[in-house]
Amino acid sequence: MRIVVLGGTVFLSRAVAEAALAAGDSVTCVSRGVSGEPPRGATAVKVDRSEPGALAAALGGQEFDAVVDVATMSAPWVRDALDALAGRAGHWTFVSSINAYADLSLRGGTVGQATLPPLHGAPDPAVQFTDPEVYGSVKVGSEDAVRDRAGDRALIVRGGLMCGHGDLLDRFGYWANRISRGGRAVVPDVPGHPMQLVDVRDLAAWIVRCARAGTIGTYDGTGPRSTLARVLEEITDAVGAPGLDLVRVPVETLYSEDVGIWYGPRSLPLWLPETHWGMADRDVTDTLDAGLTVRPVAETARAALEWERRLGLDRERKAGLTEAEERAVLRAHTTG
């Protein structure tokens, strides 16, 4: 199969390129070339997608059996890719997000659930990464464009929490890192908190299998339902230091200590308020029936820790508590 990956140098799109190469495909990766090189064996094509028409010019009259597009924040990029390639490509995968759903509190939701209103333009860069609704709306606008132009051969994958090697968001990796270092580690005391994740290698391999099989339709791209407590337990079993003590701290203490949810500095990554539990509690029966296979969380934890070590365990993080912040929370918990 001849496959073009729009991206291919980082995390998911790189894993897609690797999976396609492993399957014996001829792989072209399109990126600016600022985030690194694609995997060995892939053909690198340098394009800046913010320049309309650049993709069409760079790929000339080439034909592809499959396209995988991960465009994050720009419906115009997606339309430009369709202009360039829809007439010369077979299967089309667009990687969307679970943030596309309008009601993230709904637990057990399926892909038929209502989505946010679409945003068809490119959002203001000042809000694009701080407003999940803008992100979700851009994904909906992008999905619409793909269905409109290639709906008869399109796979839309609404990604959930992607984890493992190459993750640049520092969320799941925070726990692999923290748990591997031992001592008293703050965890949110939220019984029943749902959690759901997918190892980037499993999602990538499934995307490539779908492209080969011609699977079309819309699917949530994440693994089976679990709980946050269970996931932390599985990470502990895989990479936990001897003597590790997971200290369950009530949410009232976390809030009073200014600890944030989900992502960002001074946060406990993966912790969600109940208003967002639906993000980590999707009914993915259809996805599993369509062939997504998932490895044990332990394997993802080991891959995440290896990646964390490569980035530097003590680096400044995008998500999580610093040692000093964690000590302050533990003091407040003990004295409060």
Ligand X SMILES: NC(=O)c1ccc[n+]([C@@H]2O[C@H](COP(=O)([O-])OP(=O)(O)OC[C@H]3O[C@@H](n4cnc5c(N)ncnc54)[C@H](OP(=O)(O)O)[C@@H]3O)[C@@H](O)[C@H]2O)c1
> Which range in 7-15, 118-126, 177-185, 308-316 contacts ligand X by CB under 6 A?
7-15
* End-to-end Cα distance, the chain: 61
In one letter, which amino acid is 174? Y
Number of residues that bind ligand X (CB under 6 A): 24
> Which range in 6-14, 242-250, 270-278, 279-287 contacts ligand X by CB under 6 A?
6-14
Contact status: 324 vs ligand X (CB under 6 A): no
| Nearest-approach distance from CB 329 to ligand X, in angstroms | 25
Residue number, 33 or 224, with CB nearest to ligand X: 33
Between CA 74 and CA 128 the distance in angstroms is 10
Contact status: 10 vs ligand X (CB under 6 A): yes
Contact status: 95 vs ligand X (CB under 6 A): yes
Contacts to ligand X from residues 39-78, by CB under 6 A: 47-50, 70, 72
Question: Contacting ligand X (CB under 6 A), which of 159, 188, 240, 269?
Answer: 159
| Nearest-approach distance from CB 230 to ligand X, in angstroms | 19
Strand-pairing partners, residue 115, are: 101
Buried b (16+ CB within 10 A) or exposed e, 261-292: bbbeebbbbbbbeeeebbbbbbebeebeebeb
Question: Contacting ligand X (CB under 6 A), which of 19, 82, 161, 303?
Answer: 161
Closest C-alpha to 199, from 20, 5, 9, 12: 12
Residue number, 246 or 272, with CB nearest to ligand X: 272
Residue number, 33 or 265, with CB nearest to ligand X: 33
In one letter, which amino acid is 336? G
> Which range in 57-65, 121-129, 159-167, 247-255 contacts ligand X by CB under 6 A?
159-167
Residue number, 8 or 188, with CB nearest to ligand X: 8
Q: Tokens 């912790």 sit at which residue? A: 271
Q: Beta 26-31 vs 43-46: how paired, if at all?
A: parallel
Between CA 321 and CA 130 the distance in angstroms is 19
| Nearest-approach distance from CB 18 to ligand X, in angstroms | 12
Contact yes or no for 222/196 (Cβ under 8 A): yes
| Nearest-approach distance from CB 97 to ligand X, in angstroms | 4
Question: Contacting ligand X (CB under 6 A), which of 3, 4, 8, 150?
Answer: 8
Closest C-alpha to 93, from 211, 221, 264: 211
Contact status: 128 vs ligand X (CB under 6 A): no
| Nearest-approach distance from CB 223 to ligand X, in angstroms | 12
Contact status: 11 vs ligand X (CB under 6 A): yes
Sheet containing strand 2-6, edge to edge, reads 43-46, 26-31, 2-6, 64-69, 89-97, 154-159, 217-221
Residue number, 159 or 188, with CB nearest to ligand X: 159
Between CA 245 and CA 250 the distance in angstroms is 16
Residue number, 164 or 188, with CB nearest to ligand X: 164
Between CA 102 and CA 169 the distance in angstroms is 23
Contacts to ligand X from residues 162-181, by CB under 6 A: 162, 169
CA atoms within 13 A on the CB side of 53: 0
Residues in touch with ligand X (CB under 6 A)? 7-13, 31-35, 47-50, 70, 72, 95, 97, 159, 161-162, 169
